[in-house]
Structure 1
Amino acid sequence: MPYLAHTANAQLGALWLGCVGWTLTAMAMGLIQWRVWQVSDSEEISSGLAWVGIWRACFNSHTDVTPGFIVMHCRYISLTEAFVPPEIVAAQVLMLLSLLVGLCGNAGGVYALRNVYFGMDKNTPIRLTFSITGALCLLASVMSLIPLAWNISSVVTNQTIHFPPEFKMPPAPDSQHVGCGIGVGIAGTALMIASGILYCKYKLPVPKEREGHTDTSIPKYSVTVSFAGNDNPAFESHEHL
């Protein structure tokens, strides 16, 4: 198997980008700051801010505990509840699928780079392996980008969520803006896209001389070396002795 380690430097960087992007995607899924609600005239929400993630809705309050102490109250958002808007349902499903597909993509990158650097499987189609890995990373990024963009659109158009009374959330916020959870998710998605593109751009080196092919572009010359000179009289005089 030819030496190929020098051909996969960009793909080694792609593996690093994919791992960081996958980690950021996982972090974004757990953050509650997807949609930040600004609320006024609420006894429960003492800070004036409420955070709506894809799994929980939370706010700070000191009405249910000792005055002067602040505690965060959170309620779990279930996938099957009727009040959950479609953008949050899509985020719960697609972000999980994105993590699974992205994990497979990173594993494929490790496998492909192992074959390149160590040549442990000579029969593996390396170019095809990198292409499949890149496709998985791009698919994972698309899966995460859809709910991220959908929730951004809901924030921009000031869409509300009709929470049940036990959530103690207002029927509508005074205003809302995009939280850092969406920002982290977009950063992770961008890194996954870059990783997938780098994987797909891998090319095997073209051999200089292929088997059964004779290069006729360079003419071949035969070199004849001849020695010419005069006879040495001293050497001939010794032969006659």
Structure 2
Amino acid sequence: MASHAHTTQLYALVLGFIGWTLTAVALGLIQWRVWQVSHSEVISSGVAWVGLWRACFDSHTLVTPRFTFMHCRSMGLTEAFTPPEVAAGQVLMLLSLVVGLCGNAGGVYAVRNIYFGLEKNSPIRLAFFTTGALCLLAAVMSLIPLLWNLSSVLTNQTIRFPPEFKMPRAPESQHVGGGVMVGLVGAVLMIVSGMVFCSYRLPASSQRRPALRGQAHLDVPVQAVAAGGRGTDNPAFESQEHL
């Protein structure tokens, strides 16, 4: 039973790390919103991508030096045209990475303690609960902008980009990109990991062991006294009875 419980916590740690990694990947992807654009002079492929940090499209006339045949412009947090769901994503996704990193670090500490038999000398239950709470908090932080941007795409919300972005005022159609899907998968894995960590209980054998030790210490003097009482009589007590 103890080894099975330890294996479960190890799996939860792996899931938490994978979820945190997927959150970091989603943060850097530009495919949060995919705009279908036609009859454009500068957008060669007819597709534009809008992420949390920049908007990009393939072009044979406008090229950004760092990107081959791609034109990209950055979106700042304080820019007037930046929609609130994008600004919230820039802040909350970064905070989610920080909190998730702390949660994974706590998970490594807790799992290391149970595998090396150090749970008796450390508050292992508190360590697992704190790890789970951090993982759940990180998942919630990432879910807010993910679901908000998902709702904006489903309701066909547009963004009023400045003229230098060369983006159309509104797309013909748009759909959810891979960045949102990757982020949702990462958030789900973090939730599963956090729930497993929060539900950790010490194995039954570890809880009984201290009680048995204490009972053994209490039983030894009683048995010794009983044995001593049955062994010999007190001569002084017998002499007083004859008087």
The two structures have a TM-score, normalised by structure 1, of 0.82
Identity %: 69
Q: Which residue of 1 aligns with 2:219?
A: none
Q: Which has the higher helix share?
A: 2
1:54 aligns with one of 52, 73, 81: 52
Shift of 1:160: 0.4
Where does structure 1 differ by over 2 angstroms across 4 or more consecutive aligned residues? Answer: 3-7, 119-123, 206-214
Contact 1:4 1:117 in 2 (8 A): no
Q: Please, which runs of 5 or more residues in structure 2 have no aligned partner? A: 217-243
Does residue 124 of the first structure (1) align with residue 147 of the second (2)?
no
77, 80, 83: which one aligns with 2:78: 80
Tell me, in whole angstroms, the C-alpha distance in 1 between the residues paired with 2:116 and 2:3.
Answer: 8
Aligned to 1:239: none
Q: Secondary structure at the match of 1:46?
A: coil
User: Which residue of structure 2 lines up, in the alignment, with residue 41 of structure 1?
Assistant: 39
* Structural mapping, 1:147-158, within 5 Å: 147-158=145-156
The structure that has the greater radius of gyration is 1
Q: Give deviations 1:209-237, integer Å, cap 9, x for gaps.
A: 624569xxxxxxxxxxxxxxxxxxxxxxx
Hey, what does 1:238 align to over in structure 2? none
User: One-letter code of the match for 1:8?
Assistant: H
TM-score computed with the length of structure 2 as normaliser: 0.81
2: CA distance between counterparts of 1:144 and 1:205?
A: 33
Q: Structure 2 matches for 1:175-190, cutoff 5 A?
A: 175-190=173-188
Partner-residue secondary structure (3-state), 1:194: helix
The match for 2:110 is 112
| Alpha-carbon distance in structure 2 between the residues aligned to 1:177 and 1:64 | 24
Deviation at 1:63, TM superposition (A): 2.1
Q: Residues 88-111 of structure 1, C-alpha deviation per residue, up to 9 Å, x if partnerless?
A: 000000000000000000000000
The total of aligned residue pairs comes to 208
In structure 2, the residue matched to 1:136 is 134
Q: Which runs of 5+ in 1 are unaligned?
A: 215-241
